[in-house]
Structure 1
Amino acid sequence: MIPALLTYLIRKLIIHLRSGQKSLALVMLLSATSCAMAQNNTVMYDVIYKDEKIGSTRINTITGGDSLHCSIVTNISTRFIFSIKVKSVEESTYHSGKLVHSITNRNVNGNEKVNRTTVAGINNYSVHREGTKSIFKSDKINFNVMMLYLTEPVGITKIYSDNHQQFLRIANTGPHTYRLNMPDGNHNLYHYTNGVCTKVEVFSQLFDMQIVRR
């Protein structure tokens, strides 16, 4: 995993050096150097729908120095009106507490439905959404949705969504329980025990499901 991450970061470094984004290139080089002596950790969750396991979520984190890389891979196979298979891949890289790069990709029955990236610039972020590029005006994103699986958001009121590419409001609704509201009217509830995310309840207009830590 570490060699693959280093290769990935070096490729990004070359691309951004060519495009003149030297500050981001330097950050990614520092990230690659830190990851060389990194610690690797993997946690598994089960995806539950109507009391039945329909998939799994694997969360892998690599930490080293001031850098953090997190990947979340979810595979779901179930049947609603018809058979459906979903694979979601999300990746985030932080350096010195700042999000420098994230990827969100989702395939449904083999067809790509979501392909979005967020890349740090000098005073803002470049965001790409299915081939369309725009600017997100924020000089620093220090907590995105993926981080909810890694740490309890105590005292945090807004979180960056790599999928929606905007800040979302999060609120403490009970003991170690937090509600994240989506722009489409859906919401998630995150539950924590001793600072560890043990369960996520997903409420949507079409279905409800749970993501439960093993």
Structure 2
Amino acid sequence: MLLIYTLKKVFKRSPSFEIVAVLKRQLFKIKYIIPFFLLSNTSPDNADAVADVEKISFSVIKKNSSIGFIDIEKTSIDETTTYIINSEVKAKVIFNFNVIGIEKYIYKSDTLIYSSLYRKLNNKVKLNQSLSLVDGKYFLKEKNKNEVLDFNIINSNLVTLFFFEPVGIQEIFSDKYKKMVNITPFGKGKYKVVLPNKSTSIYHYENGKCTTIDVVGSFYKVKLIQI
């Protein structure tokens, strides 16, 4: 019933690319997210604390058509903040591809203490890694091996750019590439991030909130628009 009600509201008020994005998100949640949380749900020690939850969504636009979505949920309880990202993109760049991503980041007292990244490309797992802070050191687990990363405490990574304008921040951590990347001011309310694979993202902010992101890679060019 909730799904039907949501779709009715969307079809009445939303442009076509938003309708497609909502449909894709609903199917994604039914297929991947609901089973994931049913299996992984546990009762935390601070279960009685009141959670502050903020949700934002972006539609991935290519040539004026929606090819996917990115949903981000930020939950803050006491000194702990958790970010969950669910995404799916379907497009054709030389060949057809379908990318599904599930990411989780946990901060405590503004320090990254845990992150996990999981991505599938055309039903094949391409990335499955986790990062944990233990006794002041970051341990990376990837492909059944553990590695200690030579990093100081990480205070911000790329997921935070969805929620906060990086005023005065010169570099930020990329979990996928396991290294710090530079943030370059690019005009009023605009910041450029260049990843090690040379893909470029320009983040646009209004009143401190991210509204759009222009992403340019070797074989693609897309725009992320908040919906």
Write the deviation string for residues 67-119 of structure 1: whole angstroms up to 9, x where unpaired. Answer: 10011111112223332111111110001010010011110111100112111
Query: Residue in 2 aligned with 1:117?
Result: 130
CA contact (8 A) 1:198 1:213 kept: yes
Query: Residue in 1 aligned with 2:220?
Result: 207
Of 82, 91, 96, which aligns to 2:109?
Answer: 96
* Local SS of the residue matching 2:46: helix
Question: 1:157 and 2:157 equivalent?
Answer: no
Supply the distance in 2 between the matched residues of 1:34 and 1:187 (Cα, whole angstroms).
40
Query: Residue in 2 aligned with 1:126?
Result: 139
Query: Residue in 2 aligned with 1:142?
Result: 155
Q: Give 2:56's aligned amino acid.
A: V
Supply the distance in 2 between the matched residues of 1:89 and 1:174 (Cα, whole angstroms).
32
Question: 1:167 and 2:180 equivalent?
Answer: yes
Write the deviation string for residues 23-45 of structure 1: whole angstroms up to 9, x where unpaired. Answer: xxxxxx6xx52784212222111
CA contact (8 A) 2:100 2:119 kept: yes
CA contact (8 A) 2:53 2:76 kept: yes
Supply the distance in 2 between the matched residues of 1:190 and 1:90 (Cα, whole angstroms).
20
Taking structure 1 as the reference length, the TM-score comes to: 0.82
Change (3 A) 1:35 1:207: farther
CA contact (8 A) 2:185 2:191 kept: yes
Gaps of 5+ in 2: 1-32
CA RMSD, aligned part only?
A: 2.0
Of 167, 177, 199, which aligns to 2:190?
Answer: 177
Question: 1:51 and 2:57 equivalent?
Answer: no
Supply the distance in 1 between the matched residues of 2:171 and 2:52 (Cα, whole angstroms).
28
Q: What percent of counterpart residues are identical?
A: 25
Query: Residue in 1 aligned with 2:91?
Result: 78
Taking structure 2 as the reference length, the TM-score comes to: 0.78
Change (3 A) 1:204 1:150: same
Supply the distance in 1 between the matched residues of 2:55 and 2:125 (Cα, whole angstroms).
26
Supply the distance in 1 between the matched residues of 2:160 and 2:147 (Cα, whole angstroms).
24
CA contact (8 A) 1:119 1:127 kept: yes
Matches within 5 A, 1:7-18: none
Q: Give 1:37's aligned amino acid.
A: V
Query: Residue in 1 aligned with 2:30?
Result: none
CA contact (8 A) 2:49 2:78 kept: no
Gaps of 5+ in 1: 11-28
In the TM superposition, what is the alpha-carbon distance from 1:125 to its structure 2 partner?
A: 0.4
Q: Give 1:112's aligned amino acid.
A: V
In the TM superposition, what is the alpha-carbon distance from 1:137 to its structure 2 partner?
A: 2.0
